Each structure stands twice: as structure tokens, then as C-alpha cells.
């Protein structure tokens, strides 16, 4: 979309495209703007959008192709979620892809559901250029940006593709970081040089990635005691990523991983802290704060698993707005509940309401650790950036769009104040990704990715569900036209 943006700037000079077609204009009248400092501008303003660009903000009057009355309403930048996974439809079984219809219904609605809940930019933390270009060719879709994911041999998550030999021929293999501590695991003719940080970072940048993601995860479930990268490797990765102005994301959700992060000075921790070694976390969180490492809380990763056992999940209006009814029906069916059985087989013999209660108790400890972590992050003013990890696993409770909205609510419920939340959803993410001159704020010359809200999001978190109009690249879309139902 950078190219159309540049084109548009050229077009702005004469209000005409280079091909001669006339520019499209939209005027939003008398609207209350919330700026990037999460402050209400005192006087309502008029905003003129020419094609994709916010052309003028002030107390002027002018003709326009479309006029939108903003009286009593709030205008905010489109939301940015910097932790999503765009490929696939959550909760569908890999072996049931034969059910093409569900796959199609889901794939068609997913970009719209992101927009429905106000997300106009999403960052896929593990994608590649051809997929993202295809995604961005859709008109009714948030703009997608992506990171290249780099793991080590036998490490998380590439270990899920099988033995070393299968890993080396898997899709992630071309971006495997060479791990000198496992030198005897590689074939004799392995091209080591092509798997050193410098080479991989430059390759990722050239292909169009804007960031790098790597992992510190010793494993869970059936995969435990996995190898993790050493300090030298990730320090080197950070060095080359910085040279290319690419933030380095680290998958980290334990005190071990946070400790590792503080010694490697990565840019972002892609998860909240939910596995504690029992030590006092305050000194650790202070370190994270001092080094300007940003954190994504991803609260719905844990909540979403628990929500699978909540039989009222599909009764909300939001769920029906985000998820096509064909998928809801399948998710509710015996086969749609497959992942629940993997999470907890014994609890399923209990009555419905008992299941939820029992699982709540089982998850209580993780929630307590997570909440403690959030409070410590807030106390130490760690830079929180909004990332929801949509979806973190094959679970329908993290359906795109809906999950972002649930994550927003979870942040507020866990004690993040509404100003911080607003900035995390907009300007802080834009700054992290280096796109703050284009999106994340409402200023003349910026891309018109905007939300017109009926309520004030600095007063009530439910305001994020009061969207009237979504503007993507200057195109005004009535929210209800994006709903699944």
C-alpha cells in the first residue's frame, strides 16, 4: 500500500491522479478528534479526506463528494494489532480442510471481521511476502505487514514439523538460524553461512518483512525440554535487525524467557508473563523497563482456552457479528469441539456448567501470575503495545476481530488505564513498526485509516464497540455492512 500512498501524494498536488481521473473527497463535519496523546481536541473540527489522505483539519467549509455528520461523535485513528496470524481459519482441523465450504466462509469473513472491530492495520508475526501481497490485494481488509519468523533446529515451533530431517525441508527451514551448539545435528553439506543472522536478516528485509520474530520457549504439552537459542546468537540477530531498522520480537511468556530478553535487549516481548519460577519479578520487570523493551500482554491466549469451556460463548451479539453462522454451527458440533478434548479430556464427562467451573480453577494459578505480571509492568511504566495473538492456537474463541475486541476489554479489566490502552492500540504500535508518519495518529498528510465512534473510548472501554464508520485508505465503510450476519 506504500505505492498507492506515494501515488496519492503525487495526486494531491493537483487533486488529480496521474491517469487523469478526479480525486474522491469526503468531509467529516464537527467531529471531536482524539489525538495521539490520547487527548480530546477542545473544539470539534472538520476533516477533509482526499482519496486516501487526510488533507485538511480545521474550521473551514468546503464541498465534497461525501459529507458525514460527526456532531457528538469521536474520531480516532484506526486500530493496530501487532500480533496476529492471518493464515487459515481458527479451529478448523487440518485433516478437515476437505470441508472447503467452511474454509471459504471463514476466509471471506475474516478480513471484514478485523475491520468490523476497528482494526485497520495488522502485523502477522510469522508470514511471507506472497501471502501478504495476496491479502493486501483485498479491498475490504486491514493492511497487513509482516515479520519473518526465525527458529533454531529442534526448537519451538519448527519442532512440530517432525524429526530434524523433516524440519530441514519444512517451510520455515529457509529461515532457520544456525545453532552452533547443535552442530552434529546438521547434514555435512549444510550451508551454514546462509543461516547466520546477517544473511537471514538481509534476506527477510529484501523480501518485504518489516520485523524479525524469534523464540525462547522450552516447550509445553508433549514437547518439553526443547533447545533454546544462546545469548550470542540472539545478540547478533538483534545487531543486524537494528542495522536494518527492523524491530526484533521475542516469543517469551516465562520468567526464564524475560530474563533472556533482558540480556539480549530485544525490542518486544510477544506475550505476557504467565509462567513464573517463583522468584520476585520486580527486579526483572525493572530491567525490561530500563532497556525500553516493549511488551504485548496477549491475555486472550489464556482466556481463550478457558472460554472453550464456556457454553454461553456463542450467545453474544459480538460473536455473531464476527463469525459466519455456518462456522458457529460447526464449532458447536461434536467434531468442532476437538481441541477441547486435547486440552482436557476428563472434564468433558461433567455437566456443562461444571466443566467451566472446574477449568476456571485449573487456570486460576496462571491467571494470578499473569495479573501480577501486568501490575508490575504498569508500575514500572513498561511500554505496552497492543498485540492479541489472534489466534494463538486452533481455537475458535480467538476468532479474528472479535478476539482483538476481547483483548481490549481484558486489558481494561486487568488494570490498564484507558489512555494507555488507546496509545497502545494506535501511536505506540505505529512507532514500534516505524510507520508513525503514515498511520497511528490524525494529522494532515497522513493515511485516512480512521474510526468514527458514537462513544468516547477514554471514558468507557465499550466505546470500541460503538463504531459507526470505518475508514480504510479514505474509503468510508458503514460498520454494519461488515458484519458476518
Return d(Cα 251, Cα 228) in angstroms, integer: 11
Contacts with Zn ion in 382-421 (CB under 5 A)?
389
Instruction: Tell me which residue of 330, 336, 360, 425 sits closest to 387, measured CA to CA.
Output: 425
Cell 489522505 belongs to residue: 53
State which residue, 389 or 449, has the beta carbon closest to Zn ion.
389
Least Å distance, CB 318 to Zn ion, is: 22
Residue 366 backbone dihedrals phi, psi, to 5 degrees: -60, -45
Give how many residues touch Zn ion by CB under 5 A.
1
State which residue, 389 or 473, has the beta carbon closest to Zn ion.
389
Binding flag, residue 431, Zn ion (CB under 5 A): no
State which residue, 81 or 389, has the beta carbon closest to Zn ion.
389
Least Å distance, CB 300 to Zn ion, is: 11
- Vertex 304, ends 302 and 307: CA angle to 5°? 115
State which residue, 389 or 431, has the beta carbon closest to Zn ion.
389
Least Å distance, CB 392 to Zn ion, is: 6
State which residue, 305 or 389, has the beta carbon closest to Zn ion.
389
Least Å distance, CB 157 to Zn ion, is: 9
Contacts with Zn ion in 60-89 (CB under 5 A)?
none
State which residue, 36 or 307, has the beta carbon closest to Zn ion.
307
- Beta-bridge partners for 213: 149, 249
Return d(Cα 274, Cα 302) in angstroms, integer: 9
Least Å distance, CB 83 to Zn ion, is: 6
Return d(Cα 456, Cα 34) in angstroms, integer: 9
Instruction: Count the neighbouring beta carbons within 10 Å of the beta carbon of residue 30.
Output: 15
State which residue, 82 or 376, has the beta carbon closest to Zn ion.
82
Q: Which three cell numbers stand for residue 53?
A: 489522505
Residue 135 backbone dihedrals phi, psi, to 5 degrees: -60, -45
State which residue, 51 or 389, has the beta carbon closest to Zn ion.
389
Query: CB–CB of 189/223 below 8 Å?
Result: no
Q: How many helices (H) and strands (E) does the chain have?
A: 16, 15
Least Å distance, CB 46 to Zn ion, is: 41
Strands 475-478, 467-472: parallel, antiparallel or unpaired by DSSP? Answer: antiparallel
Task: Enter the DSSP assignment of 451.
Answer: E
DSSP codes, 337-388:
GHHHHHH-SGGGGS-HHHHHHHHHHHHHHHHHHHHHHHHHHHHTT--B----
Least Å distance, CB 365 to Zn ion, is: 22
Strands 475-478, 74-77: parallel, antiparallel or unpaired by DSSP? Answer: unpaired
State which residue, 410 or 458, has the beta carbon closest to Zn ion.
410
Least Å distance, CB 251 to Zn ion, is: 7
Task: Enter the DSSP assignment of 437.
Answer: T
Instruction: Tell me which residue of 156, 162, 161, 185 sits closest to 257, measured CA to CA.
Output: 156
Contacts with Zn ion in 10-29 (CB under 5 A)?
none
Task: Give the CA count within 13 Å in the CB-facing half-sphere of 119.
Answer: 35
Return d(Cα 37, Cα 427) in angstroms, integer: 8
Q: Which residue is nearest to Zn ion (CB)?
A: 389
Least Å distance, CB 366 to Zn ion, is: 17
Least Å distance, CB 389 to Zn ion, is: 4
State which residue, 249 or 422, has the beta carbon closest to Zn ion.
249
State which residue, 217 or 389, has the beta carbon closest to Zn ion.
389
State which residue, 398 or 420, has the beta carbon closest to Zn ion.
398
Return d(Cα 213, Cα 445) in angstroms, integer: 31
Return d(Cα 288, Cα 286) in angstroms, integer: 5
Cell 516465562 belongs to residue: 254
Least Å distance, CB 85 to Zn ion, is: 6
Handedness of CA 401, 304, 229, 289 (dihedral sign): positive
Least Å distance, CB 387 to Zn ion, is: 8
* Footprint of Zn ion (CB under 5 A): 389
Amino acid at each position: 500500500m506504500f505505492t498507492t500512498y506515494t501515488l496519492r501524494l503525487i495526486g494531491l498536488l493537483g487533486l488529480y491522479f496521474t491517469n487523469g481521473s478526479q480525486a474522491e473527497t469526503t468531509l467529516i463535519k464537527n467531529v471531536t478528534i482524539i489525538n495521539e496523546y490520547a487527548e480530546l481536541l477542545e473544539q470539534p473540527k472538520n476533516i477533509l479526506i482526499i482519496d486516501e489522505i487526510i488533507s485538511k483539519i480545521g474550521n473551514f467549509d468546503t464541498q465534497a463528494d461525501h459529507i458525514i455528520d460527526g456532531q457528538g461523535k469521536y474520531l480516532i485513528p484506526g486500530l493496530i494489532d501487532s500480533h496476529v496470524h492471518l493464515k487459515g481459519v481458527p479451529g478448523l482441523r487440518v485433516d478437515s480442510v476437505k470441508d472447503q465450504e467452511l474454509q471459504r466462509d471463514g476466509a471471506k469473513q475474516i478480513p471484514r471481521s478485523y475491520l468490523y472491530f476497528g482494526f485497520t492495520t495488522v502485523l502477522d508475526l510469522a508470514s511471507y511476502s506472497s501471502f501478504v501481497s495476496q491479502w493486501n490485494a483485498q479491498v475490504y481488509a486491514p493492511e497487513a505487514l509482516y515479520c519473518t519468523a526465525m527458529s533454531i533446529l529442534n526448537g519451538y515451533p519448527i519442532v512440530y514439523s517432525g524429526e530434524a530431517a523433516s524440519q530441514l525441508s519444512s517451510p520455515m527451514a529457509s529461515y532457520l538460524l544456525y545453532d552452533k551448539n547443535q552442530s552434529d545435528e546438521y547434514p555435512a553439506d549444510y550451508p551454514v553461512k546462509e543461516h547466520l543472522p546477517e544473511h537471514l536478516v538481509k534476506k527477510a528485509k529484501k523480501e518485504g518483512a518489516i520485523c524479525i520474530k524469534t523464540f525462547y520457549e522450552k516447550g509445553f504439552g508433549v514437547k518439553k525440554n526443547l533447545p533454546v537459542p544462546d545469548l550470542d546468537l540472539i545478540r547478533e540477530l538483534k545487531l543486524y535487525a537494528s542495522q536494518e531498522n527492523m524491530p526484533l520480537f521475542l516469543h517469551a511468556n516465562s520468567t526464564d524467557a524475560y530474563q533472556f530478553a533482558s540480556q539480549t535487549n530485544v525490542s518486544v516481548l510477544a506475550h505476557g508473563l504467565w509462567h513464573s519460577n517463583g522468584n520476585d519479578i520486580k527486579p526483572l520487570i525493572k530491567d525490561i523497563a530500563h532497556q525500553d523493551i516493549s511488551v504485548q500482554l496477549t491475555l486472550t491466549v489464556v482466556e481463550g482456552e478457558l472460554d472453550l469451556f464456556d457454553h454461553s460463548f456463542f450467545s453474544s451479539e459480538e460473536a455473531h457479528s464476527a463469525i459466519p453462522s455456518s462456522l458457529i454451527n460447526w464449532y458447536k458440533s461434536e467434531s468442532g469441539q476437538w481441541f477441547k478434548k486435547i486440552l482436557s479430556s476428563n472434564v468433558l464427562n461433567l455437566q456443562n456448567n461444571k466443566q467451566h467451573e472446574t477449568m476456571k480453577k485449573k487456570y486460576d494459578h496462571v491467571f494470578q501470575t499473569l495479573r501480577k505480571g501486568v501490575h508490575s509492568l504498569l508500575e514500572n511504566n513498561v511500554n505496552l503495545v497492543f498485540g492479541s495473538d489472534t489466534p494463538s492456537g486452533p481455537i475458535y474463541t480467538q476468532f479474528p476481530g472479535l478476539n482483538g475486541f476481547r483483548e481490549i476489554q481484558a486489558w481494561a479489566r486487568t488494570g490498564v488505564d484507558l489512555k494507555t490502552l488507546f496509545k497502545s492500540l494506535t501511536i505506540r504500535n505505529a512507532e514500534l513498526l516505524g510507520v508513525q508518519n503514515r498511520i497511528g495518529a490524525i494529522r494532515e498528510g497522513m493515511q485516512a485509516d480512521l474510526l468514527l465512534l458514537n462513544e468516547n473510548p477514554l471514558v468507557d472501554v465499550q466505546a470500541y464497540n460503538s463504531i459507526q464508520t470505518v475508514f480504510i485508505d479514505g474509503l468510508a465503510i458503514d460498520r454494519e455492512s461488515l458484519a458476518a450476519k
